[in-house]
Amino acid sequence: MAPLHHIRKDCRLCGGRDLVPVLSLTPTPPANAFVTADALDQPQEVYPLDVMFCNACCHVQLSNVVDPKLLFENYVYVSGTSPAFVGHFESYAGDILRTYAPPSGSLVLDIGSNDGTLLGFFKKAGMSVLGVDPARKIARQATEGGIETLPVFFDSALAGKLRRERGPAHVITANNVFAHADDLGEIADGIRTLLADDGVFVFEVSYLADVYEKTLFDTIYHEHLSYHSVLPLERFFAAHGLKLTRAERIDTHGGSLRCHVRLAGANDTGDGTVAERLDEERAMGLDKAETLSRFSTRIDFVKAELTGLLAKLKSGGATIAGYGAPAKATTLMYHFGLDGTVIDFIADDSPWKQGLYSPGLHVPVLPSEAIYDRRPDYLIVLAWNFAEPIMANHRAFSEDGGRFIVPLPNVRMF
């Protein structure tokens, strides 16, 4: 049987081998490896979360690469269950359509298209749409829902086949997936193959600057192989016949980067945001390994504050539950030791996760009604990037005396 993970010893973006360790978090199972009740007695393997810095190009990446089939073929995250994300994707599609005005009927391809939420807005605007996503069950449901989705991984061979069969794509998107792939060079080559001469590739990823500034360490998990910044990305795309023309900071996931990429020969000088990001990154010291090595001290401070608060509440007889079971909760719960002795259950709005148990620690995941049935004293908002809508939707919980605890970017109680 093939090993389920391996250690990568060269840089994913430039191929350099001068990688130095800058952070080591508690090993965890894959962040979305939720289990059913009948599998609770089966131990789940954990994998290291060791973060490396490339001295050649300044890229930041995980050293341990878990088999993507293990991570993605039975995926349980779907975009459409979050109203905030549906609204984000509607505005995102609108921005691309206004900026680039692709002709009606143009091909729009989404890599890692999930349930087709984003593509639905392009389809509504008269575009021809196609999703590519290896999560077989989600891909099948997206196709049944009217968004044709191929249940495969995107690569240059698929790009060549699609170009021959369907013509070039005027828009290619990839949202929170450009950090997920081990062979980014293969994806970049596929994008160059498939993209129309006047086409654009737009992707969003968690931004290293925000991860560092706001101590968002829980966004580090095995699906996220890369922690992107503009400095190495600009060089990477140039090496693959592409050019980075825009690099916008946006609010999603606590702070993300939206990049626009064109063919190297395209007549697009950009909007100045790439140069802005480069200046900001150098000012923060993101081009130096020692900057990121200081990250662990800040994580330890948040850990001491949160675990101290929870221990005090528990010793006073309080009951605590979690709200939201995103992938990042696995890293947070493992690194901070938040197991079933601390958190009684996790409420989550996604039917894909309800009735399952959290990866490794096996805390039950229940529908949100459970917070009113079981009436915990405190809810720790594990999906902290959606804290405001969660607290607004569950005002009845706080009106009944319940309190919300938001763990990041800093510990707050409401």
Q: What domains are defined for the chain?
A: 79-292 (3.40.50.150), 316-413 (3.40.50.720)
Give the C-alpha separation, 362 to 323, whole Å: 15
| Cβ atoms within 10 Å, residue 188 | 22
Nearest-CA neighbor of 133 among 201, 73, 52? Answer: 73
Strands 320-323 and 378-381: parallel
Sign for the pseudo-dihedral over CA of 150, 156, 160, 166: positive
| Structure confidence at residue 180 (pLDDT) | 86
Q: Are the C-beta atoms of 220 and 227 separated by less than 8 Å?
A: yes
| Structure confidence at residue 1 (pLDDT) | 43
Alpha helices in 167-293 (DSSP H): 184-194, 208-213, 230-239, 273-284, 289-293
φ, ψ for residue 258, nearest 5 deg:
-110, 115
| Cβ atoms within 10 Å, residue 269 | 8
| Structure confidence at residue 390 (pLDDT) | 94
Give the C-alpha separation, 170 to 106, whole Å: 6
Nearest-CA neighbor of 334 among 292, 378, 382, 370? Answer: 382
Tokens of 282: 């150098």
Please return the burial class of 401, using the count of CB atoms within 10 Å of its CB with bins 0-12, 13-18 and 19+: exposed
**What are 232-282's pLDDT values in tens digits?**
999 999 999 999 999 999 987 778 999 999 999 999 999 999 999 999 999
Q: Are the C-beta atoms of 314 and 321 separated by less than 8 Å?
A: no
Give the C-alpha separation, 70 to 223, whole Å: 10
For each of the chain's 414 residues, which pLDDT tens digit applies? 445 778 999 999 999 999 999 999 999 999 999 999 999 999 899 999 999 999 999 999 999 998 767 666 555 555 555 677 788 899 999 999 999 999 999 999 999 999 999 999 999 999 999 999 988 899 999 999 999 999 999 999 999 999 999 999 999 999 888 888 889 999 999 999 999 999 999 999 999 999 999 999 999 999 899 999 999 999 999 999 999 999 999 987 778 999 999 999 999 999 999 999 999 999 999 999 999 999 999 999 999 999 999 999 999 999 999 999 999 999 999 999 999 999 999 999 988 899 999 999 999 999 999 999 999 999 999 999 889 999 999 999 999 999 999 999 899 999
pTM, rounded to two decimals: 0.90
**What are 146-177's pLDDT values in tens digits?**
999 999 999 999 999 999 999 999 999 998 88
Give the C-alpha separation, 180 to 220, whole Å: 11
Nearest-CA neighbor of 359 among 10, 28, 33, 14? Answer: 33
- For 113-241, where are the E strands, in sequence order? 128-132, 149-150, 169-175, 195-206, 226-227
| Structure confidence at residue 2 (pLDDT) | 46
Under DSSP, is residue 284 helix (H, G, I), strand (E, B) or coil? helix
Q: Are the C-beta atoms of 262 and 33 separated by less than 8 Å?
A: no
| Structure confidence at residue 181 (pLDDT) | 86
